[in-house]
Structure 1
Amino acid sequence: MVYSAQMKKAVGALRSSLEDAGLGRQGDRFTRHGSHLPDPDAPLVLVACSGGRDSMALASVAATVSAMLGLRCGAILIDHGLSEGSDRVSLEAAANCRKLGLDPVLVRSVQVRRTSAGLEADAREARYEAIGEEAGRVNASAVLLAHTMDDQAETVLIGLIRSQGLDAITGMNHRMKRDGLDYLRPFLGLTRQETTEICRQQGLSWWDDPTNGDGFPDDQPLPADLPLRSRVRHDLLPGLSRFAGRDMVRRLTQGADLARRDAEYLDRQADALADQVVMPPEPDDADQGILARLDARSLSTRDSALRLRFLAHLLSNLGVPASSQQVESLDALASDWHGQQGPVFPSSYSAFRKCQVILICNDGVHANR
């Protein structure tokens, strides 16, 4: 079969992503020409499919690459029930996945629990929770996500709008693990235009989410009540490219790759710092609600970038929600302590310094202050 340039690029990207995750060729027979069925116990990968152009392109490419490698390939579709006709969209996309030969094709309806994080974040959380449950039920080895270079550029801009620091510009990882399950993003090097071309070449139909602003006039800004990502996609990113006189999708994605390398190095150094500053627990710490003891003097001698990153990781691992300001307040207990109180975190967590020890506590069970 002769592949187009877009298809060759997509096949190579997915194959590399799978091989990097330990999901390479499953036997010598898959090196030979011809059609070879995977073994019944071959690793299963699932395409997270919305029915949009990106995920339909990924489903088509995954069917091809899985056959090359001897992997089983299925799909999972999540119906959030947030728009009229979403159930029909899911069923039509599932039918298209079955036509591609994917098996199993799983359709799951979810109830999105609304929180202060916002609808987009709440829907994402519900989606990942459902995907994880279904992937575990069928013993999937990995889930493929169809985020593209355009999504990466949008993520960087949203990070700059919403937050500060290095992590705001690192974008999405090519591979992440959540609840023990691998999620792979093989298309971060492809553009949305390329996935659209793949769908057209393969004769695939797709659905455009109206909340993305597709079909809205290019010379008019999207309404403010549409999701931030949609407005970044439709208004900000094209405007930024016009202003800079260059393709800012590619520039932002390249910058994210470079920033991520720096962030990963800092993460490794910050995690290693735990061995030097986290003190052994004392026998009654659990009864006292003490989650961690830190050597304040040792922590104070480290570079501020490492201290802040270490503390942010520590709080996350302890399940303590914290803002960047609260992390800095916690850091000040080591780096600039003059008897001040430590930060009070949400959900009844707090931190304070006692002599040369910083204590991070669950106030619900902490008895001795």
Structure 2
Amino acid sequence: MSDDDNSPISAREAKLLFADLRRAPALVLAVSGGPDSVALMWLAARWRRSLTHGPQLIAVTVDHGLRPEAAREARDVKHLARSLDLPHRTMRWTGAKPKTGLPAAARAARYRLLTQAARASGATHVLTAHTRDDQAETLLMRLLRGSGIAGLTAMAPVTERDGIALARPLLDVPKAQLIATLKRANIAFADDPTNRDTVFTRPRLRALLPQLAAEGGSARNLARLAARLARANAAIDVLANGAERFLALRDRDRLPPDAPARSFEASAFATLPEEVRLRLLMRAIDAVGHEGPAELGKVEALLAVLDRGIAGAGRRAAGTGRPQVKQTLAGALISLSRGRILIEPAPPRRIRGGS
């Protein structure tokens, strides 16, 4: 992309943005009507016209039913899509809306409806218009929430949801370039006031970005940090995969192949780097537990207990058969006994009271 954050995106640059998607049979474009998604639709349509053979493009707008202007904005997107020779569909989020956690619930509903539209259209991908600015904001949000390395990688260029690929081709493009592109093409776009509503976390952080940029924390630098963390995260995953295979080989005769449990030799486990041990524990707990993903902070606390138990094993009386550690987390039972760490499904919680 151009180094000028305020220059329109050229046809050549747009071709590079979508190059990896050329062989897809069909693509759903998530278009809300704001500048980012309208630019995504316009750039994708221009790119598709340059191809002799290429994917079908379908514009989809999700109306969350939260603002009275949303229906009009969806109609405006439909008219623009029609002028670009693209089919358009509006998906509506119906039913009761939560009183708390509304942004997360709306986001989940949006992706659910978009993937439904993709399956109905025979599309393999949903394209969203997340930009470099969004990446910087996501990194800041996760940093302030105390995320680990995996969380601080922010958004990946491609992820998967319900069998549909979610692609973010504009993830390294600044929002200013998208607005410049639309202005040059004389294309109007909607202004969503919730993007500035400081009731929500993301708009509050967005308002801080100019001050952070003045201190060197520009969206470009924050996005670069997220990319570097993603690179480190991928390397750690490779180490964790190797360590998992190594421990499985040492433990292959301890558990039946189809056992709903994981087991590690404690002494070998203790030699691994702390971040690798954390990932192995999280993987095991998530695999056998039945209460959702384990929280990183709780797994860190569990690892500290296990490390103390392993270190003190030699000073304890041998042969008692009593576990040095026995805890439950996220629906998994984790125990340390006789030199082994065992992670297995926890028994159902007892319900107090009742008839």
TM-score of the two chains, using structure 1 as the length reference: 0.78
Residue deviations 1:57-76 (CA, integer Å, cap 9, x gap): 00000001122232211111
Confirm or deny that 1:310 pairs with 2:280: yes
- Residue from 165, 173, 183 that aligns with 2:156: 173
- Residue from 206, 212, 220 that aligns with 1:240: 212
- CA separation of 1:272/1:48 partners in 2, compared to 1, >3 Å: closer, same or farther? farther
Contact between 1:296 and 1:333, CA under 8 Å: does it hold in 2? no
Confirm or deny that 1:89 pairs with 2:59: no
- Residue from 192, 203, 206 that aligns with 1:209: 192
CA distance, structure 1, for counterparts of residue 61 and residue 13 of structure 2: 22
CA distance, structure 2, for counterparts of residue 144 and residue 361 of structure 1: 38
CA distance, structure 1, for counterparts of residue 192 and residue 282 of structure 2: 36
CA distance, structure 1, for counterparts of residue 299 and residue 12 of structure 2: 42
Contact between 2:35 and 2:178, CA under 8 Å: does it hold in 1? yes
- CA separation of 1:351/1:59 partners in 2, compared to 1, >3 Å: closer, same or farther? same
Amino acid at match of 1:364: P
Aligned to 2:3: none
CA distance, structure 2, for counterparts of residue 125 and residue 188 of structure 1: 20
Residue deviations 1:92-133 (CA, integer Å, cap 9, x gap): 222222222223x22111147767982211111111111112
- CA separation of 1:270/1:284 partners in 2, compared to 1, >3 Å: closer, same or farther? closer
- CA separation of 1:331/1:111 partners in 2, compared to 1, >3 Å: closer, same or farther? farther
Matched position secondary structure for 2:86: coil
Root mean square deviation of aligned Cα: 2.8
Counterparts of 1:114-129 in structure 2 under 5 Å?
Answer: 118-129=101-112
- Residue from 321, 329, 348 that aligns with 1:364: 348
- Residue from 315, 319, 323 that aligns with 2:295: 323
Aligned to 1:52: 34
CA distance, structure 2, for counterparts of residue 155 and residue 303 of structure 1: 28
Aligned to 1:253: 223
- CA separation of 1:322/1:145 partners in 2, compared to 1, >3 Å: closer, same or farther? same
Contact between 1:142 and 1:182, CA under 8 Å: does it hold in 2? yes
Contact between 2:261 and 2:342, CA under 8 Å: does it hold in 1? no
TM-aligned CA deviation for residue 334 of structure 1: 4.5
TM-aligned CA deviation for residue 349 of structure 1: 3.9
CA distance, structure 2, for counterparts of residue 303 and residue 283 of structure 1: 27
CA distance, structure 1, for counterparts of residue 97 and residue 327 of structure 2: 31
Confirm or deny that 1:73 pairs with 2:68: no
Amino acid at match of 1:282: P
Contact between 1:78 and 1:110, CA under 8 Å: does it hold in 2? yes
CA distance, structure 2, for counterparts of residue 13 and residue 141 of structure 1: 23
Larger mean CA deviation between 49-58 and 164-173 belongs to: 164-173
Confirm or deny that 1:100 pairs with 2:84: yes
Aligned to 2:173: 190
TM-score of the two chains, using structure 2 as the length reference: 0.81
Aligned to 2:183: 200
Look at both structures and tell me which one has the larger radius of gyration over its CA atoms. Answer: 2
- CA separation of 1:283/1:79 partners in 2, compared to 1, >3 Å: closer, same or farther? same
Contact between 1:212 and 1:230, CA under 8 Å: does it hold in 2? yes
Contact between 1:350 and 1:361, CA under 8 Å: does it hold in 2? yes
Amino acid at match of 2:133: D
Aligned to 2:16: 16
Residue deviations 1:273-315 (CA, integer Å, cap 9, x gap): 3223345653784xxxx44334433322211111112333444
Alignment coverage as a number of residue pairs: 323
- Residue from 341, 361, 364 that aligns with 2:326: 341
Percent identical residues? 28
- Residue from 200, 208, 219 that aligns with 1:227: 200
- Residue from 157, 161, 168 that aligns with 2:144: 161
Structure 1, unaligned runs of 5 or more: 27-41, 214-221
- CA separation of 1:359/1:315 partners in 2, compared to 1, >3 Å: closer, same or farther? closer
